[in-house]
């Protein structure tokens, strides 16, 4: 391998790593995938990935070694770009593209705008907030007002894309605004469950999936990345909780206390309908490709109903293990059949199961002593649910080993 060839290969590997990191790939999957790609290109590679830094050591022989260290921002989940990048690597490995063409295509993928546009994304934020409220078995009043707050939250997200200052305080700002408005809504409609409506409005920011990915990285012995991801998720949870406390305090000063009037509860079918509704909106929020969307929606349905059936016979925490096992097997089979990344189906299924909302509720109970929902031993439940999720994914990989590193 001459110097020019080595330079081109290492440039592709580094850009590929940065692109996949940007699209939200977990560190242990990213390191494994980069190892596979570098081997296929005839380059010996060593990689150390964390949410905020990347280290590449690439060499062809003892005389050709290159070290690259980059400071990066934590990635945001973009399943569509992840799938396109995966296809690009497949095309390169089968000789359908040259390295030069692959570099150009990688640049196109990285700069591709949101395929669903602002209007559809706005609608998905509102509907996902409403669908989450339906999953909480509250009332139609809560569902409606949660959806309205979800639309507002996307307005703040859109603003943050234009303003760096707003982006830095987006999560607590959204929590403050939602809490103040919810206090005002409670004066107009005293039948809303105030804490649940606020939680549903900001559910898109609750870092349940990040906590799960962090624990999965720790389980894979990727200690640096796993610890960093978990601490980042915990800090985000603290920022959201403080924003809610501040917003409710200001809201009560501005609007006064409201007297809660218990409304009529949602029918049983509402929570069942909420699962496919939430899964459909996650397709847009996670920017998945349309051709992959049925598989992602099915993953959410399999995860939820497997966990529900398992919970009926084995208890809630072990039921989550059954749900994670089922969606893990389904995702690995999907990756084999469709020759696509496991993450496309797995993440859309796991996000239905993650106890991010329970973590927030547990934090609220621990600090204020007040319970948002009538649930005992919540801290133990959260711990068991997280462990069940990770165990379910591990067991699924043993039963149906994944053939794809992504």
Average pLDDT over residues 100-120: 91
pLDDT number for residue 247: 94
- pLDDT, residue 384, reads 81
d(CA 308, CA 314): 10
* Mean pLDDT score, 196-220: 88
C-alpha distance from residue 90 to each of 148, 223, 333, 341, 404 (Å):
43, 30, 18, 11, 11
Whole-number pLDDT of residue 377? 54
Mean pLDDT along residues 147-158: 95
CA 325 to chain centre: 18
pLDDT tens per residue, range 121-130: 999 999 999 9
CA distance linking residue 30 with residue 213, whole number of Å: 13
Percentage of residues in the chain having pLDDT higher than 90: 50
| pLDDT confidence of residue 360 | 55
Confirm if 108 and 81 have CB atoms less than 8 A apart. Answer: no
Residue 367 vs residue 15, higher pLDDT: 15
Q: What is the pLDDT of residue 355?
A: 62
Indicate if the pLDDT at residue 363 is higher than 70. Answer: no
Share of the chain above pLDDT 70, in %: 92
**pLDDT given at position 176:** 96
* 209: confidence class by pLDDT, cuts 50, 70, 90: confident
Rounded Cα gap, residues 64 and 322, in angstroms: 49
Residue 212's pLDDT band (cuts 50, 70, 90): confident
Tokens of 398: 């043993």
Element (H, E) at 68: strand 64-71
Q: Average pLDDT of 142-171?
A: 93
Is 96 a residue whose pLDDT tops 60? yes
How far is C-alpha 86 from the geometric centre of its chain's CA atoms? 19
- CA distance to 54, 61, 272, 297, per residue, from 137 (Å): 43, 62, 10, 21
Task: Write down the number of H helices and E strands in the chain.
Answer: 17, 3
Asked whether the predicted pLDDT for residue 359 surpasses 70, the reply is: no
Mean pLDDT, residues 73-100 taken together: 90
The yes-or-no verdict on residue 183 having pLDDT over 60 is yes
**Residue 1 above 70 pLDDT?**
no
| Residue 375 scores a pLDDT above 60 | no
Query: What is the pLDDT confidence band of residue 367, given thresholds at 50, 70 and 90?
Result: very low
Nearby residues of 275 by Cβ (< 8 Å), 6 or more positions away? 131, 135, 300, 301, 304, 305, 352
Beta carbons of 341 and 20 less than 8 angstroms apart:
no
Could you tell me which residue, 295 or 138, shows the higher pLDDT?
295
Q: Confidence band (pLDDT; 50, 70, 90) for 60?
A: confident
Question: What is the rounded distance in angstroms from the CA atom of residue 389 to the CA atom of residue 22?
Answer: 25
Query: Does the CA dihedral 210-215-221-225 come out positive or negative?
Result: positive
Is pLDDT of 47 > 80? yes
Tokens of 406: 């992504």
Give per-residue burial for 87-115: e unless 16+ CB within 10 Å, then b. Answer: bbbeebeeeebeeeebbebbeebbeeeee
Q: What is the mean pLDDT of the chain?
A: 87
The pLDDT of residue 219 is: 86
pLDDT at residue 73 greater than cutoff 50: yes
Which residues are CB-neighbours of 241 under 8 A, at least 6 positions away?
175, 360, 363, 364, 367
């Amino acid at each position: 391998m001459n110097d020019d060839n080595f330079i081109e290969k290492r440039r592709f590997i580094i850009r590929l790593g940065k692109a996949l990191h940007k699209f939200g790939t977990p560190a242990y999957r990213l390191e494994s995938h980069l190892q596979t790609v570098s081997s296929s290109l005839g380059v010996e590679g060593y990689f150390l990935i964390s949410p905020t830094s990347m280290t590449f050591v690439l060499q062809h022989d003892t005389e050709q070694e290159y070290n690259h260290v980059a400071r990066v921002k934590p990635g945001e989940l973009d399943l569509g770009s992840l799938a396109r990048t995966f296809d690009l690597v497949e095309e390169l490995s089968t000789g359908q593209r040259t390295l030069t063409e692959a570099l150009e295509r990688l640049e196109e993928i990285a700069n591709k705008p949101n395929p669903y546009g602002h209007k559809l994304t706005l609608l998905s934020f509102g509907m996902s907030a409403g669908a989450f409220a339906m999953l909480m078995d509250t009332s139609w009043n809560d569902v409606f007002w949660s959806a309205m707050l979800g639309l507002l939250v996307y307005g703040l997200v859109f603003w943050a894309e234009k303003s760096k200052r707003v982006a830095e305080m987006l999560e607590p700002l959204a929590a403050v605004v939602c809490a103040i408005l919810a206090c005002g809504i409670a004066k107009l409609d005293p039948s809303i469950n105030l804490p649940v409506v606020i939680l549903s409005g900001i559910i898109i920011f609750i870092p349940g999936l990040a906590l799960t990915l962090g624990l999965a990285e720790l389980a894979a012995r990727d200690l640096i990345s796993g610890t960093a991801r978990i601490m980042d998720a915990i800090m985000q949870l603290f920022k959201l909780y403080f924003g809610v406390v501040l917003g409710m305090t200001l809201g009560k000063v501005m609007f006064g206390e409201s007297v809660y009037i218990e409304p009529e509860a949602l029918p049983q079918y509402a929570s069942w309908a909420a699962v496919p509704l939430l899964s459909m909106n996650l397709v847009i929020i996670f920017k998945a490709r349309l051709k992959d969307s049925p598989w992602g929606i099915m993953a959410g349905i399999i995860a939820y109903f497997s966990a529900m059936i398992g919970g009926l016979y084995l208890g809630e925490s072990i039921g989550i293990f059954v749900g994670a096992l089922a969606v893990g097997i389904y995702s690995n089979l999907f990756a084999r059949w469709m020759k696509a990344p496991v993450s496309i189906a797995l993440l859309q299924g796991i996000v239905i199961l993650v106890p991010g909302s329970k973590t927030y509720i547990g934090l609220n109970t621990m600090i204020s002593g007040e319970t948002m929902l009538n649930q005992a031993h919540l801290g133990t439940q959260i711990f068991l649910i997280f462990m069940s999720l990770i165990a379910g994914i591990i067991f699924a990989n043993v039963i149906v080993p994944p053939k794809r590193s992504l």
